[in-house]
Amino acid sequence: MLFDLKPKERKRDLFGREQELQSFLDAIQKQVSLILLLGVRRIGKTSLLKVGLEECNAPHIYFDLRILEAEGVSKPSLYRLFSSSFNVFLSRRAKISDLLKKVKGVSFAGHGIEFDWSREGLKLTELFQTVDQWAGKEESRVIMAFDEAQILRLYKGGGKSDFRSLFAYCYDNLHSITIVLTGSEVGLLFEFLGLDESKSPLYGRYAETITLKPFDNQTSRKFLIEGFKEYGVKPPEEFVDKAVEKLDGIVGWLTYLGNKSIKEGFSSATIDAVMEEASRIVETEIRKLEVLSKYYLLTLRAIANGSASWTEIKRTVEAWAGIPLTNAQITRTLEKLIEMGFIEKKENLYAIIDPLVKFTVKRRRYRRGFPEKWVQ
């Protein structure tokens, strides 16, 4: 169902991404070693990934790194995630169990596989070697997919380059593994990987890049109409028009609205309620920016209120902050917001990508002097 709030797993439920899905399947078919699946939050990366993994008809291991944000990015939490992901894999591919039993730091109990995360325990290179060895014997290819891979930059289990080095090792030495990385904070992901950075272990490696863009108005309209058709209802034209205007092609928010409308009906009040509920979700996310810099929220608010050029943004942020700022401070703030996927730059003008982020920061005001809390 198009309005199911969970990520899609079947091709028939994946709407408007035929070209991107085919690009993903083509890359798997060509045995590309490294694939990047990129796009802003709630654009449908996880759905495309999961559908692609099912459609490619190849064994795969899926790592949902968002779990680490809740538990903390530590070696124990990472290895627990690896254990649970491998248990799902083993439930489909039991033949690899005999090989894994020979790997140091791997143990089997009644509830499945466990990895020893101590210093003397499992080495990820040996684990990946074993998977590659099994895939070679099976004349197959294993897809190892890391969802929201920029989170790996926070892992300090054995040094900053741990996963970059691991991926580079796989790229250079393992012939039956494809690494897939998704990322909503595209700039941070590229900074972490360092594909163009001479000191990075991944420098110079080729990556097939697939980028998901927001739906255009026509596709957004069709998505809503087709979704409602699955329930045997036809929405009023004015309802669809307003929904497309407010939610602007972000499929996650369109799905949320469709799901709620089926239960509560077609009205402006339903759209407004979705905006309010979604705004609370977004506010939780962007409050995290305060920890990184006091200027992020002020800059987002300036852009949301119409300051589009660098000069306008600097002037507005300085007025609200009550202090002069250097050119470098403004430039660095804008660059980081681009890297984190909040804004984009086109023809020297800046814009917020997600309409709900714009809605959330625009309806709030920030007291002069950087307080702890926003106020109405």
Q: What is the pLDDT of residues 101-138, one digit of tens each?
A: 999 999 998 778 999 988 889 999 999 999 999 999 99
- Show the domains of the chain with their CATH numbers: 11-211 (3.40.50.300), 217-286 (1.10.8.60), 288-362 (1.10.10.10)
Assign 307 to helix, strand or coil: coil
Task: Answer whether residue 272 shows pLDDT above 70.
Answer: yes
Q: What is the pLDDT of residues 2-38, one digit of tens each?
A: 999 999 999 999 999 999 999 999 999 999 999 999 9
Q: What is the DSSP string of 36-84?
A: EEE--TTSSHHHHHHHHHHHTTS-EEEEETHHHHHH-S-HHHHHHHHHH
Q: What is the dihedral of CA 120, 136, 65, 82, to 10 degrees?
A: -40
- Please, are residues 36 and 181 in contact by the beta-carbon 8 Å criterion? yes
pTM beyond 0.85: the answer is yes
The helix-helix angle for 295-304 and 327-339 (nearest 10°) equals: 80
Listed in sequence order, the residues at least 6 apart from 222 whose beta carbon sits closer than 8 Å to its beta carbon are 16
Backbone angles phi, psi at 362, to 5 degrees: -70, -35
DSSP bridge pairs for 35: 180, 208
Percent of the chain with pLDDT over 70: 95
* Residue 376: count of CB within 10 angstroms of its CB: 5
Q: What is the pLDDT of residues 294-350, one digit of tens each?
A: 799 899 999 999 999 999 999 999 999 899 999 999 999 999 899 888 999 999 999
Dihedral angle sign, alpha carbons of residues 292, 294, 297, 299: negative
Task: Write down the pLDDT at residue 376.
Answer: 39
Q: What is the pLDDT of residues 208-228, one digit of tens each?
A: 999 999 999 999 999 999 999
- Cα(343)–Cα(305) distance, integer angstroms: 14
Percent of the chain with pLDDT over 90: 76
Mean pLDDT value across the chain: 91
- Overall average pLDDT of the 285-290 stretch: 78
